Amino acid sequence: MARRETSLRISAIVMLVLTACLVAFDTQTKVIMLSIEKKATYKDMKALQMLVYVTSAAAAYNVLQLCKHTSLLSCTEKIKKGSSNIYMAWICFLLDQVAVYVTFGTNCAALEGSMIAVTGSEALQWLKVCNKFTRFCDQIGAAVLCGYAASILMALISTISAYKLMRMYSPQRFLTLKIR
C-alpha cells in the first residue's frame, strides 16, 4: 500500500508540475495590424492564473506529504496507533480531500474559460480567441487534461488515506478506537 501511495504521489506531482509549467510558460504573439501586436499569456484570464497557483500549491503539498511519508516509512511498524496518530490521519485525510476538490474546481473553471475562448459568446460580444492563437489554445487544452489527470490521481491518493484512517477504527463498533 505504501509503494502505491508513493508512486501515485510522484505521478500526481509530475502531472501538477506539468500543468503549471504548460500554462505559465505558454505565450503566443500575433500581429493584428501593420505594427500592432497582441500577446496571449495565462495572465489574460484569471482562471488560468488560479490554475497555476493552485496546481503549484498542490504539487508542493504532495511533495511535503511524500517527504513525511518516506521519512516515517521505516518507523510505522514501531509506532503504536494512539490518539495522536489518529488526529494526524484525520488531518492528512482532510488535506488530501481539500487538495483534490480545489484542484478539480480550478481545472473546471479553467476549462470553462477555455471553452469560451474556443467558441466565443455572441451575447457578450466576445470573439473566438482560439482562431488567432491556435498554439496557445492547444497548449492550454493539454494543460487542462494534465490537470484532470492529476485530480484523478489525487482522488486515488485520498481513497488510500481514507482507508488508512478507517483502518484505525474497530470493525465491531463503529468509530471506537482499536485497543492493542
Domain residue limits, the chain: 2-71+82-167
The pLDDT value recorded for residue 57 is 96
pLDDT digits 0-9 by tens, 23-72: 999 877 777 777 788 888 888 888 899 999 999 999 999 999 988 866 65
The pLDDT value recorded for residue 171 is 63
The pLDDT value recorded for residue 117 is 77
For residue 176, is pLDDT > 60?
no
Q: Which of 7-21, 31-45, 156-170 has the highest mean pLDDT?
A: 7-21
Q: Give percent of the chain above pLDDT 90.
A: 39
- Extended strands (E) in 72-154: none
* Cα–Cα dist 161/1, whole Å: 10
* Cα–Cα dist 137/122, whole Å: 20
Mean pLDDT of the chain: 82
pTM exceeds 0.95 for this model: no
